[in-house]
A and B are shown apart, each in its own frame.
Chain A
Amino acid sequence: MDRVDDRQQGLVWRTCPIRDLPQDLGTLGLPASDHARAASVADPAARRRFLGGRAVLRATITELCPDLDGRTVTIAVAPTGRPSIAERADLHVSVSHTRGLAAAAVSTGGPVGIDVEPLERTALPPGRAWLTRGEQARLAAHPPSEQHRQLLRLWVAKEATLKAHDTRITRRGIAIRTDRGYAVEVVEPEPDGAVVALLRWEAIAHRFVLAIATLPGRPMRAGPSALRP
């Protein structure tokens, strides 16, 4: 697993390539509850991704909270899909797993959202369904060779923001403003420019884009990624 440690600021996140998981998933050391939930997933590849997500989440919890055994904590999942830790209500967690990679973020300083997508994923929904008009215009200004990467960055940024908020904010109701320190602002229904999240983007091994969102007032260290390219 690769990891980024912002422990001084109460945030740690890790990634885990799915290919690094053992063939026998029973050797991951995950509790029976994780395997029981995985058993409801029909597709074996999806089952591996799910358990990879659980493995990286539990490892990240232990990383940030040495007094807590991440291998045994109870992970609850709300109807919205948001996970929480029964033993530590003050702990905020987020998980993302996609084809090839699982990622998790754990925070003691407030809500956090993480999302990752592979660059090879090309069948994105049409921009009009989830981009603001400003985002569509700025996207069109990029050279065609750059548009796909930019589109994926916008996607993971919005998904990470939605996960951090866990509210009825809509994708088209938030705008990514790269000219203001990667701030995410409300643009609908009232274009008041309220900052609703702060973002950090990562490119992983030239194969994935990943975004982490934390809410305003919550510091996030900028700077180069600790992930190995």
Chain B
Amino acid sequence: MNTDELHDLISEVLSGIAPEADPSAIDPTEDLRDELDLDSMDELNMITRVSERLRIDIPERDYPQMRSLDGAVSYLARRLATHA
């Protein structure tokens, strides 16, 4: 899966968690919690859904790397590369 596909996947998951938000309008470098008013439960829901979709484990210590859209894409690309 390339970075564009990862971006689309995360956006799709975010749409399910924050349906009133517009993922295309967010700044990909900013904290998703601020951009979409996600709380900690939303954040964990996002991470577990992405984890299930990609069939990879995301350790809790790595959650801070998933805080922005760009950060999440980079992190997931690295994780997928090591799983390949």
Please say whether chains A and B are actual partners in one complex: yes
Binding site for B on A (CB under 8 A): 40-43, 46, 81, 98, 117, 121, 123-126, 129-130, 155, 159, 168, 170-173
A/B pair count, beta carbons within 8 Å: 36
Q: List 24 A-B contacts (CB under 8 A).
A: A41-B37, A42-B25, A42-B37, A43-B20, A43-B37, A46-B37, A98-B39, A121-B41, A123-B45, A124-B45, A125-B41, A125-B44, A125-B45, A129-B44, A129-B47, A129-B48, A130-B44, A155-B41, A159-B40, A168-B61, A170-B60, A170-B61, A171-B44, A172-B60
* B56 beta carbon closer than 8 Å to chain A: no
Which residues of B have CB within 8 Å of A81? 33
* Distance in angstroms between the alpha carbons of A41 and B6 in the assembled complex: 26
Which residues of B have CB within 8 Å of A40? 34
Instruction: Give the dominant DSSP class at A's interface.
Output: loop
Question: Whose C-beta in chain A lies nearest to the C-beta of B33?
Answer: A81
Given A117-B41, A129-B44, CB of A43 within 8 Å of CB of B60? no
B41 CB, nearest partner CB in chain A, Å? 7
Sorting the interface of chain B by its residue count into under 10, 10 to 19, 20 to 34 or 35 or more gives 10 to 19
Question: Whose C-beta in chain A lies nearest to the C-beta of B22?
Answer: A42
* Distance in angstroms between the alpha carbons of A171 and B44 in the assembled complex: 11
Which residues of B have CB within 8 Å of A98? 39
Question: Whose C-beta in chain B lies nearest to the C-beta of A96?
Answer: B39
B46 CB, nearest partner CB in chain A, Å? 9
